[in-house]
Structure 1
Amino acid sequence: MTTAPLIARARVRGVETLALDSPGSRNALSAALVDALAGALADCAADSGVRAVVLTHTGTTFSAGADLRDPPAPEALVGLLRQIVELPKPVVARVAGHVRAGGLGLLAACDLAVAATESTFAFTEVRIGVAPAVISLTVVPRADPRALARHYLTGSRFDAAEAVRTGLLTAAGDDVDAVLEPVLDGLRKSAPQGLAETKRLLTARVLEAFDRDAADLTARSARLFASPRAREGMTAFLERREPPWVL
């Protein structure tokens, strides 16, 4: 019995599109999906025919966050986020749906991010008793601190316009591909060496945060997910009921 690939791939004029392809789980970040995406990104890094990477999705959700039934190890998620940041080619997120929790860490790791106007976003970790620890490595350097505090602490849903305002998105529009195409045209006109070196300038401070904070945030994430409160919160989420702390 063969297993369907979790990453759909296509290439047009030097731009490799990697689509998260597990719509039945709303592209939740399972151990298997994280591993498959890491492998696809490694292929892109080694392939001189790839000028840039578009990270997108099948179905109506870019990613629902960590797969609570088969979560990746925190170290694996850290490794994936760092791999995107360090990839010597620009990575552009294309969102035509919804993004939750850990999916926002993936989005923020990308160099550029565009979305459809109807897309929605939420940091829902606080509602199940954990914190957006690991994904803060990529989210915190991107986002406005006051806006981020609101969204982290409330877990409330916000729209694409707010995501642009806070720095999580580069741009949004009714037709996401119309927004994306001028970005890709610009990347295709740019020299590979220029892109790689410019990306290094832009990501230097993000990588400093990985070097400084990754071990602490990984340990914090593991501790929180293993806690009794988080187990209750995750169980309530999977059973589609309110956890006991809701007033």
Structure 2
Amino acid sequence: MSYLEVEMAGPIARIALNRPEIHNAFNEHVITELTKVVADLGSASSLEAIVLTGNGKSFCAGADLEWMGKMVGYSHDENLADARALQTLFETIAQCPKVVIAAVNGAAMGGGAGLVAACDYAIASDKASFAFSEVKLGIIPAVISPFVVEKIGLGAARAYFTTGRRFDAVTALRLGLVQEVVPAEDLAASVNSVLTDACSAGPKAIVASKALLRELARGTADTVEAIAQIRVSPEGQEGIRAFLEKRKPVWKRES
């Protein structure tokens, strides 16, 4: 059984969480499938960007009740394995070689808000809402925390992690969890506008930019070496020459 809808349109892949009857809540099967789909799409040379959204009125409500019921009986080792699988999903999204855009069409709760944070760019409908609601269940947003803190900072994370308070799309924009808020009817057009920019960028430059950010976060980035390498690379040379010659660059993609 597939828990996702995947559509390909030229260089764009659109992944929709497809459990609208339970607000696209995820379980271990959704985690496994989504991890594999993103990893496979990330390695597709013909692809340039990925859009992640939800079918129905919600983006993702976090963990589903049946899966949470199983957790009650898990041993410590089983909980470790379960949490590592979820961590792998978020890392796969965050480290994907393609630009990953979240189209937040509705509520994004708990791990659903974590999915938003793991994406490179997020556009929210003005009807969307968010919460890190784990504390209300007596647990914590541990696995998603590195991705969320990277976006909104420790201060805002403290406020919303400790209260589980729900917040709207405008607040998510102010915090930096999302980059745009648009009327619901304009969500698709706004996503397409970002895709136009993403698809005009050098594919290796995107990969290098995401790697640079990870190194900066670890304090291991050599920014001088990074720019020197990219300037002398075939893609860097083409981009600079195209700019000077006032033409569009021709990016070479691996077959």
Q: TM-score, normalised by structure 1?
A: 0.79
Aligned pair 1:16/2:13, yes or no? yes
User: In the TM superposition, what are the counterparts of 1:1-247 in structure 2 within 5 Å?
Assistant: 3=1, 5-71=2-68, 73-174=82-183, 175-205=186-216, 208=218
Q: What SS does the aligned partner of 2:178 have?
A: coil
Q: Which moved more, 1:72-81 or 1:91-100?
A: 72-81
Structure 1 unpaired stretches of 5+: 210-247
One-letter amino acid matched to 2:108: V
Check the 8 A contact 1:148/1:166 in 2, yes or no: no
Structure 1 residue 103: deviation in Å? Answer: 0.8
One-letter amino acid matched to 1:105: G
Determine the C-alpha separation between the residues in 2 that align with 1:85 and 1:203.
10
Once the two structures are aligned, what percentage of the paired residues are identical?
35
Structure 2 unpaired stretches of 5+: 69-80, 220-255
Greater RCO, 1 or 2 (C-alpha within 8 Å, sep 6+): 1
Q: What SS does the aligned partner of 1:56 have?
A: strand
Check the 8 A contact 2:122/2:179 in 1, yes or no: yes
Determine the C-alpha separation between the residues in 2 that align with 1:38 and 1:145.
27
Check the 8 A contact 2:43/2:97 in 1, yes or no: no
Determine the C-alpha separation between the residues in 1 that align with 2:163 and 2:115.
20
Determine the C-alpha separation between the residues in 2 that align with 1:182 and 1:45.
21
Structure 1 residue 205: deviation in Å? Answer: 4.7
Q: What SS does the aligned partner of 2:214 have?
A: helix
Structure 1 residue 192: deviation in Å? Answer: 1.2
* CA pair 191-132 structure 1, distance change in 2 beyond 3 A: same
After TM superposition, the runs of 4+ consecutive aligned structure 1 residues lying more than 6 A away are none
How large is the Cα RMSD of the aligned pairs? 1.7
Structure 1 residue 25: deviation in Å? Answer: 2.1
* CA pair 7-141 structure 1, distance change in 2 beyond 3 A: same
Determine the C-alpha separation between the residues in 2 that align with 1:94 and 1:127.
26
Superimposed CA distance per residue, residues 195-230 of structure 1 (whole angstroms, 9 cap, x where no aligned partner): 111222233355x49xxxxxxxxxxxxxxxxxxxxx
Superimposed CA distance per residue, residues 8-49 of structure 1 (whole angstroms, 9 cap, x where no aligned partner): 011223011111111122111200101110111121022111
Q: What SS does the aligned partner of 1:190 have?
A: coil
Determine the C-alpha separation between the residues in 2 that align with 1:205 and 1:6.
35
One-letter amino acid matched to 1:197: A
Q: TM-score, normalised by structure 2?
A: 0.76
One-letter amino acid matched to 1:74: A
